[in-house]
Structure 1
Amino acid sequence: AGLRLTDGRPRLITAAVAVLAVSLALGAALRRGPLSAATRTTSTWTCWLLGYALLGDGLLRTAVSGGPDGLPDGSPDGAWPVTLAPVLALTLSYAPAAGCAHLFAAGARRKLSSSRGLTDFSASVRPLLLGTFALYLGALTALLTLTGAVLGEPADWSQGLSLGALLLLARLLGVHGHTHAGPLVLTATAAAEAAALATVFAGRLPGCGFLSAPVEALVAACGPAAVPTAACGIGALTLLVHACRRLTRASAHASTERTR
């Protein structure tokens, strides 16, 4: 909102203060509560993915057409367009994400005490996991629609939902003791986005046009949002399959129950 209402130096100051405030608030929130976990460091790749959601589509669109001709100025129609709606929606979605994580953990603990065996427990927790995941996606869809309308931007549900799903699943796995898959998939997703941008610029070198051809064809067919949507979507699907195997085991919830 500050970027939309300010200009020049005040806009830069507003952006810096807002980023610092949101980072500190989310950092404190993630150290306590349903989404807190002693996981391997993923902040670098998470920041990259959110930064790409903010600046990546605009950079890719201008790069394919020969730009950019200037630095981002915070506007959606500048030389380097900035997309605020998905980042704002993802930030606001922390509250429903924490609520969904709490519902899943509490429901799994109840089923752990009432199940007659491990097979029965796994069969009863899998629908709970998928229902919790769908509930979060529904809340994020509403937030994407709301922020898009308030900021006057088109609501890009595919990109926002795929990134939100990826971040939630990585965190859920970490909360329940599975700390390797999340960072690995986040790193691979960030690397895929970085590689897509790099190939577009590398294609400008003499004789290297073939490097940028796949990304340019994808952008021409589906738009610049196709790159992060594909990368985050594949990562989220991978983590969802992994979560359906790991988070439906009794050990994932027995350990959480002992530590709380």
Structure 2
Amino acid sequence: MDRTGGTHTRVDAGPPSDTAARAEASAARSVEEPTAASRPNPPRRTGADPVKALMHRHRELCERAVDPLEIAAGLEAHGVTDRTAARFLHRDVFSLAEEMYARTSRDGETPPAPPPLPPLRARAGWTVLTLLPGAACAAAVAGLHLTHGRPRLIAAVVGALVVTLALRVALNRGPLAGRPGLRPTATRICWLLAYALLGDGLLQAAVDGGPDVLPDGTADGPWPLTAVPVLALALSCAPAAWCAHLLAAGARHKLSASRALKDFATSAKPLLLGTLALYLAALTALLALTTGTLDEPGAYPQTLTLGALLFLARLLTTHGFTHAPALVLTAAASAEATALSALFAARLPGCAWLATPVQALIDAGGPAAIPTLACGAGALTLLLHAMRTLTRASAHTPQDQPW
């Protein structure tokens, strides 16, 4: 009976012990929950501040910025995208830049004042320098027209050296000045200018079976030169510099007025196209002037395409984009050299087929078709590249230049 009673006692004590066990488990969970909640997971809600870490990484950018868009442009240049900004709980790069700009101001650091307008003497300085290539080229062309024979050759060599030196001096300062150590296209540009001076005449002479050489080794008659394109391009250095200056000033104005990177890109495209159109209009006027002065046939298609190619290449190089201009200028110079080489190589036995494509182009558009197609394709390629790169806010961040 005691066994039975004990059994009943154990059965009757079951529910209270079950209730006690549930109470103990509940208490244990209540003790464990604060411990789990106190773990640093997720990291966004802890004391760590990722935006502050980003500000520390770009401290110099935040200190010198005069507006949030300048910080956004710097972040864009360092590869920060809208997807990256989402990790900092911001919808886009500009929103992140606004917080960084505001927090930099709250730290007691007064943002620097906007850079003052360049002094008049600085603008006058690079303006005078951009006039040197045109003046030197005009003197060289005058020397070529006043001399004959060996003195003409000496005048051509001296004039080429003087124009090259003047061009280098003009491009070392002002809006067309490249960054130090970034001059990878000088050889290509010299070839393109030399072809503009000599290429059409040499190409036509090759088609006609020349150039003819006398028994004493001298050329039969004066070497066919086309001075109008080179003189017009040299004179256009000054308009090119002012167009680049207007592009930089307009971009800085739109950079301060825009409220997002996409807004700046949208407004910068018409500015870039307008700058190119303004330069081509100035080059066309100079071509008309030099054509009437030198009494030579106008070389408008090849000169305008070459001018657009050189102008876009210089704009990209000035803003730090040197790879694409080097490739495109190399391709244009190689196309012209290949056309000349094909005509002369076709004189070898069994190689007449090499001149067929070049001959077809010359029959369709004359000798000017070769440089027009080569430089036109290059200019179009650089324009598409510039529409993608020069419309970024990061391409127009302020630089320490006196102009």
TM range (shorter): over 0.9
Q: Is the 8 A contact 2:309 2:378 kept in 1?
A: yes
TM (norm. structure 2) is 0.61
Q: CA RMSD in A?
A: 1.6
What residue is the counterpart of 1:225 in the other structure? 368
Of 193-202 and 39-48, the range deviating more from structure 2: 39-48
CA distance in 1, matches of 2:221, 2:304: 25
- Say whether residues 1:30 and 2:168 are aligned partners: no
How far, CA to CA, are the matches of 2:330 and 2:153 in structure 1? 29
CA contact 1:202–1:211 (8 Å) conserved in 2: yes
- 1:245 counterpart (388, 392, 396): 388
1:80, distance to aligned residue in structure 2 (A): 3.8
The answer on whether the counterparts of 1:72 and 1:80 sit within 8 Å (CA) in structure 2 is: no
Q: 1:78 to 1:148 in 2, by over 3 A?
A: farther
Q: 2:207 corresponds to which residue?
A: 64
Amino acid at match of 2:160: V
The AA in structure 1 aligned to 2:247 is: F
CA displacement, residues 27-80 of structure 1 (integer Å, 9 cap, x when unaligned): 01111111011324211110000000000111110101111114897xxx9464
2:333 to 186, 190, 211: 190
Contact preservation (8 Å) 1:62, 1:68: yes
Matches within 5 A, 1:152-171: 152-171=295-314
The alpha carbon displacement at 1:14 in A equals 2.1
CA distance in 2, matches of 1:198, 1:13: 27
Alpha-carbon displacement from aligned partner over 1:195-226 (angstroms, at most 9, x marks no partner): 01111111111111111011011112210010
> Could you give the per-residue CA deviations for residues 5-40 of structure 1, whole angstroms, max 9, x where no partner exists?
222233223222222221111101111111011324
Mapped contact 1:33–1:98 kept (Cα < 8 A)? yes
Please say if 1:42 is aligned against 2:42.
Answer: no
| Structure-2 residue corresponding to 1:142 | 285
Distance 1:235 1:78 in 2: 34
Pick 1 or 2: higher relative contact order, CA cutoff 8 A, min separation 6.
1
Structure 1 residue 149, shift from structure 2 partner: 1.0
**Contact map agreement 1:196 1:227 (CA 8 A) in 2:** yes
2:343 alignment partner in structure 1: 200
CA distance in 1, matches of 2:271, 2:283: 18
Determine what percentage of the aligned residue pairs are the same residue: 65
Residues in 2 aligned to 1:148 and 1:72: alpha-carbon distance in whole angstroms: 29
Return 5+ residue gaps in structure 1 as ranges: none
CA shift, 1:91, in A, is 0.6
Pairing 1:116–2:259 present = yes
> How many equivalent residue pairs?
255
Deviation per residue, 1:88-111 (Å, 9 max, x gap): 000111000000000001110111
Do residues 234 (structure 1) and 370 (structure 2) align? no
Q: Mean alpha-carbon deviation: is it higher for 46-55 or for 217-226?
A: 217-226
